Structure 1
Amino acid sequence: MTHRLPIAAALLLALAGPSAAVAGPAPLAAQGCVGCHGPEGRGAGAVPALAGRDAAELQALLNAFRSGDRPATIMTRIVPGYSEEELAAVAAHFAGLR
């Protein structure tokens, strides 16, 4: 009986279709952000909040960290480890949190 739950979860994911695959990476990729940016990216001390900010703004900031146009102590080391798709998913994830 305990084997049915994972099978049911897999079936639900399969039935969810392609949109679930696009949304899937965001929570996993976003986990790296909450260590500094606080739970759900709501900010922590001097570290700015990400939750509820515009997705295009967040993606532009991430790209600026990646290119070195926006200097930072940590972000310029972290962002290059993510693909463009992961960065877009992270930006969309935090933009969707209100």
Structure 2
Amino acid sequence: MRYTRLAAVALAVSLSGAAASQSALAEVTRGALMAKTCLACHGAAGTAPEATIPTLVHGFPRELMIQTMRGFRDGTRPSTVMGRHAKGYTDAEIELLADYFDGMR
């Protein structure tokens, strides 16, 4: 009987820790995770390191981001490296990025 109670308590503590971990992970969105790669070039500190690279961290309008990224991906917008980056994104992923950066305003 004593071992059963101990096992139940251990299981409850274990499950509460797992639930806390899950809720912490749920706070990080897929858009936020994908945006980390963008910030490597576009500037995590608030401004892009070079004047030719747009700053994204102060909010980039959602529709403009979607239009721009699709243009890079489809080759209708000229670029140096963005076309290669954008080719890897689906429409849904571009929208997640757009939501993330639009929400940073």
Q: TM-score range by the shorter chain?
A: 0.7 to 0.9
Per the alignment, residue 43 of structure 2 pairs with 38
Segments of structure 1 that go 5 or more residues without pairing to the other structure are none
- Percent identity between matched residues is 31
TM-score by length of 2: 0.71
**Structure whose CA Rg is larger:** 2
| Amino acid paired to 1:27 | A
CA contact (8 A) 1:37 1:48 kept: yes
Three-state SS of the structure 2 residue aligned to 1:81 is coil
TM-score by length of 1: 0.75
Picking from 36, 51, 65, the partner of 1:58 is: 65
Alpha-carbon distance between aligned partners in 1 of 2:77 and 2:67, rounded to the nearest angstrom: 10
RMSD: 2.6
Structure ranking higher on relative contact order (CA contacts 8 Å, 6+ apart): 1
Number of residue-to-residue matches in the alignment: 90
Segments of structure 2 that go 5 or more residues without pairing to the other structure are 1-9
Alpha-carbon distance between aligned partners in 1 of 2:48 and 2:17, rounded to the nearest angstrom: 35
